């Protein structure tokens, strides 16, 4: 049993009670009263939550004993993690609401083991939903089940039924129900209806939502008979609690020809009656959120459809009838020809281009499907691609897209990466907003000068790298091969003449041991590299490229830098599939010191690129001048631990990370991050260009 003083001290430390109004002497007895294992659990999670916010930790301690009495440990963990995720997304208030709503959470306590977490089944469900046809919907954990037409929101924990299996099924049914809401006109009809005409608008909307749940339930049963069976198994007597009027309405909306309008038609009689208890897979309808998502989507999709169409038409022209197209440049005439729609919502669009039916490519099909869901048709103005007169308009659109990529405004089009929060001992979801952009090419004398200055070294590097290329080897005296090994044959014949046994190893075979290596260089472009280091980095990269070109290994160079998690930048210097040309040289020359050193996102991003090469040996080499460090939060242990976690992830996926650093204090943290043998400290900046190529040679020999 821990002494109460000890607990008080730990609370003081974690919650920084000196600076807050939290009173540790009131909290300590709560923890002290628990069993030792529970004490450890609460103290551990106190520290982890406190690293996010002390108030969350405070509220957690107040409720932990009650939670522990009623619930399994892994469910409590999920509860707290959900609160912290909410803190990341929506701030302290939302997080505290979850923590304070312990009753809502303990409401599930009767089932203990049966609860299923979104965190565990979200991945499976996302694949599942991808497999359904129509618009691609993204799954997000939320407080209740509903959809805005683009996302499927599901509760973080489901424990409605008594078994895990049943609760997982409920997740599945819930997700499909929302998919059906999007694809079967439920939301669209709701948007077009003025529910206030029924008096109590909110109540009428709820009644509508319930009717739709009934209608879509029956529809899902027809589309996905297996799932329908599952629904009946989970809730054999779903209609039992319904009143006579509702039962009659349920009959009507379940008919095979029922539509969202059928549900609407029932509202005048039903909205005044008491609402039945919602079904477990009932999905709420939030009109405002649906409308605003739709508005943004419509504008976005119209723009990208017209861009895609223009691009596709240009390709078509290039492919087919160059001469003819030029003659009648502005006579391109695009119209919708046919929409084939299967009952499951899958659609195939055919367009007519200059009176010829054509099937547009997959991305256009996807956009058309999504637009068709919103309008139940394709408005003709959507099908005007860039003709001669609209050239300027299209240019404008392109400018806007690139602005988005450069991050001058919102986060649209960026990539998100998780980040490891050491204090929380858990990931912060979608924490880093990452944009990949081309490095700025600078055409100056740098390349020329550097190559001249290091002329001798370049020649030497080329030679030594060339020697590493494994050429074809001729294996002699094989039992099978392309050619007869004359020496062996002569010997064997002589043996045979002498009455000896003739060897069967009479062939030569070419064997080619291929170097199947891909290497990504990750170059620190943080502000601290300004000056000498930057120059040395650039020279090092240049010499490396010269050498690698001889070796034939696949390689890519990316720079990274950023300010805060919202602006993480990756600069493409050379892609894997790009050749080493003037522009790459100019981009190397254009590498300039930027902002801070946030490393985790860059490692995660480049790991993804490396793994996509499919090479047998994949190397990730970081060139850096110091510790990971970013404005405000990414300092000290946090930065080091996230980087370490990112490197562990990389290693798990089969990548060999290696670090070349100029930081002489690197010995202190590099072994922890990269492991004892996977780093090298170059003490003299001037040596960097010589060293990097040399280290690479040693690594891959």
Residues that bind another protein (CB under 8 A): 123-128, 130-133, 172, 176, 224-227, 230, 342, 344, 346, 481-484, 489, 492-493, 496, 502, 506, 510, 554, 576-577, 613-614
Helix residue ranges, H only, 498-619: 532-551, 582-589, 600-613
Q: For the CB of residue 570, give the shortest distance to another protein in the complex, in Å.
A: 20
Token pair for 461: 């590097």
Q: Which is nearer to another protein, 424 or 554 (CB)?
A: 554
| Sign, Cα dihedral of 75, 77, 80, 81 | negative
The bridge status of strand 517-524 relative to strand 507-511 is: unpaired
Integer Cα distance of 349 and 338 in angstroms: 6
Residue closer to another protein (CB basis): 315 or 342: 342
CB of 484 to another protein, least distance (A): 5
The DSSP annotation for 44-108 comes to: HHHHHHHTT-HHHHHHHHHHHHHHHHHS-HHHHHHHHHHHHHHHHHH-HHHHHHHHH-HHHHHTT
The CA–CA distances, whole Å, from 537 to 55, 122, 174, 578, 599 equal: 45, 43, 54, 20, 17
For residue 501, the minimal CB distance to another protein (Å) is 13
Query: Whose Cβ is closer to another protein: residue 445's or residue 579's?
Result: 579
Q: Are strands 426-438 and 415-421 parallel, antiparallel or unpaired?
A: antiparallel
CB of 178 to another protein, least distance (A): 15
Q: How many of the other CB atoms lie within 10 Å of CB of 393?
A: 11
Q: Which tokens sit at 222? A: 């027809």
Q: How far is the CB of 682 from another protein (least distance, A)?
A: 32
CB of 416 to another protein, least distance (A): 16
Specify the residue, 482 or 664, whose C-beta has the smaller distance to another protein. Answer: 482
If the CB atoms of residues 346 and 455 are measured against another protein, the closer one turns out to be: 346
331: number of Cβ within 10 Å:
10
Q: Which is nearer to another protein, 440 or 494 (CB)?
A: 494
| Closer residue to another protein (CB): 224 or 548 | 224
Shortest Cβ distance from residue 199 to another protein (Å)?
39
Contacts of 638 (CB under 8 A, 6+ apart): 421, 422, 423
Which residues lie across from 655 on neighbouring strands? 618
Min separation Cβ 481 and another protein, Å: 8
Residue 416's DSSP bridge partners are 433
Give dist(CA 205, CA 315) in Å, integer.
48
Q: Is the dihedral of CA 368, 374, 378, 383 positive or negative?
A: negative
To another protein, the closest distance from the beta carbon of 348 in angstroms equals 9
Smallest gap from Cβ 48 to another protein, in A, equals 26
Q: Cβ closer to another protein: 132 or 591?
A: 132
Residue 11 or 216 having the CB closest to another protein: 216
Are the C-beta atoms of 224 and 211 separated by less than 8 Å?
Answer: no
- Shorter beta-carbon distance to another protein: residue 224 or 541: 224
CA distance 641 to 93: 28
Nearest distance from residue 619's CB to another protein, in Å? Answer: 17
Q: How far is the CB of 297 from another protein (least distance, A)?
A: 20
CA–CA distances in Å: residue 454 to residues 48, 71, 538: 52, 68, 13
Q: How is residue 67 written in tokens?
A: 């939670």
Cβ atoms of 440 and 573 closer than 8 Å: no
- Shortest approach of another protein to residue 507 CB, angstroms? 8
574 forms bridges with which residues in the sheet? Answer: 557
Q: Which is nearer to another protein, 52 or 613 (CB)?
A: 613
- Residue placing its CB nearer to another protein in the complex, 67 or 492: 492
Give the residue among 221, 191, 184, 210 at the shortest CA–CA distance from 284.
210
Q: What is the DSSP letter of 597?
A: B
CA-closest candidate to residue 336, choices 348, 325, 321, 319:
348
Residue 567: name the closest of 403, 402, 407 by CA: 407
Q: Which is nearer to another protein, 230 or 524 (CB)?
A: 230
Identify whether the C-beta of residue 309 lies closer than 8 Å to the C-beta of residue 334. Answer: yes
């Amino acid at each position: 049993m821990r002494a109460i003083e000890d607990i008080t001290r730990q609370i003081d430390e974690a919650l920084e009670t000196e600076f807050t109004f939290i009173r540790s002497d009131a909290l300590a007895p709560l923890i002290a009263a628990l069993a030792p294992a529970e004490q450890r659990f609460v103290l551990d999670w106190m520290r982890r939550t406190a690293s996010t916010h002390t108030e969350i930790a405070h509220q957690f301690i107040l409720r932990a004993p009650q939670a522990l009495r009623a619930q399994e440990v892994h469910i409590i963990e999920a509860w707290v993690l959900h609160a912290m995720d909410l803190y990341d997304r929506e701030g302290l208030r939302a997080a505290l609401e979850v923590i304070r709503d312990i009753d809502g959470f303990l409401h599930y306590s009767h089932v203990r083991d049966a609860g299923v977490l979104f965190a565990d089944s979200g991945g499976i469900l996302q694949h599942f939903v991808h497999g359904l046809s129509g618009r691609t919907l993204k799954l997000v954990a939320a407080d209740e089940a509903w959809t805005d037409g683009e996302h499927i929101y599901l509760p973080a924990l489901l424990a409605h039924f008594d078994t895990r299996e049943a609760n997982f099924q409920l997740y599945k049914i819930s997700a499909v129900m929302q998919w059906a809401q999007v694809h079967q006109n439920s939301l669209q009809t709701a948007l077009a209806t003025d529910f206030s005409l029924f008096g109590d608008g909110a109540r009428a909307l709820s009644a509508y939502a319930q009717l739709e749940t009934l209608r879509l339930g029956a529809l899902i049963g027809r589309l996905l008979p297996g799932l329908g069976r599952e629904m009946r198994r989970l809730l054999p007597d779903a209609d039992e609690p319904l009143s006579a009027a509702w039962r009659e309405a349920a009959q009507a909306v379940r008919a095979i020809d029922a539509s969202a309008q059928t549900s609407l038609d029932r509202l005048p009689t039903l909205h005044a009656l008491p609402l039945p208890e919602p079904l477990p897979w009932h999905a709420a309808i939030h009109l405002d959120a649906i409308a605003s998502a739709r508005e943004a989507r419509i504008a976005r999709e119209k723009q990208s459809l017209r861009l895609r169409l223009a691009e596709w038409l240009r390709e078509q022209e290039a492919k087919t009838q160059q001469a003819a197209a030029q003659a009648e440049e502005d006579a391109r005439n695009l119209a919708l020809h046919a929409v084939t729609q299967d009952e499951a919502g899958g659609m195939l669009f055919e367009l007519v281009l200059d009176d010829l039916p054509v099937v547009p490519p997959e991305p256009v099909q996807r956009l058309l499907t999504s637009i068709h869901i919103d309008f139940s048709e394709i408005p003709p103005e959507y099908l005007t691609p860039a003709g001669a007169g609209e050239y300027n308009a299209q240019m404008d659109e392109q400018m806007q897209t690139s602005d988005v990529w450069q991050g001058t405004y919102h986060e649209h089009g960026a990539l998100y990466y998780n980040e490891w929060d050491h204090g929380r001992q858990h990931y912060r979801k979608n924490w880093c907003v990452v944009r990949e952009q081309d490095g700025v090419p600078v055409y100056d004398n740098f390349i020329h000068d550097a190559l001249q200055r290091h002329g001798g070294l370049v020649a030497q590097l080329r030679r030594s790298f060339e020697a590493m290329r494994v050429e074809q080897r001729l294996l002699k005296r094989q039992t099978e091969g392309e050619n007869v090994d004359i020496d062996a044959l002569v010997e064997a014949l002589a043996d045979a003449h002498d009455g000896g046994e003739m060897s069967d190893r009479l062939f030569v075979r070419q064997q080619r041991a291929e170097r199947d290596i891909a290497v990504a260089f990750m170059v620190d472009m943080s502000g601290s590299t300004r000056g000498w280091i930057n120059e040395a980095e650039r020279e090092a990269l240049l010499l490396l490229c010269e050498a690698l070109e001889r070796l034939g290994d696949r390689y890519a160079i990316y720079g990274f830098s950023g300010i805060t998690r919202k602006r993480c930048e990756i600069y493409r210097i050379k892609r894997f599939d790009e050749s080493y040309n003037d522009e790459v040289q100019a981009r190397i020359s254009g590498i300039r010191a930027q902002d801070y050193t946030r490393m985790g996102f860059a490692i995660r991003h480049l790991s993804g690129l490396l793994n996509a090469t499919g090479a047998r040996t994949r190397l990730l080499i970081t060139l850096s001048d110091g510790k990971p460090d970013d404005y405000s939060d990414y300092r000290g242990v946090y930065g080091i631990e996230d980087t370490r976690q990112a490197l562990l992830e990389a290693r798990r996926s089969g990548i060999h990370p290696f670090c070349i650093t100029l930081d002489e204090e690197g010995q202190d943290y590099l072994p922890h991050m990269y492991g004892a043998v996977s780093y090298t400290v170059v003490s003299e900046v001037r040596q960097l260009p010589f060293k990097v190529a040399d280290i690479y040679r040693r690594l891959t020999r």
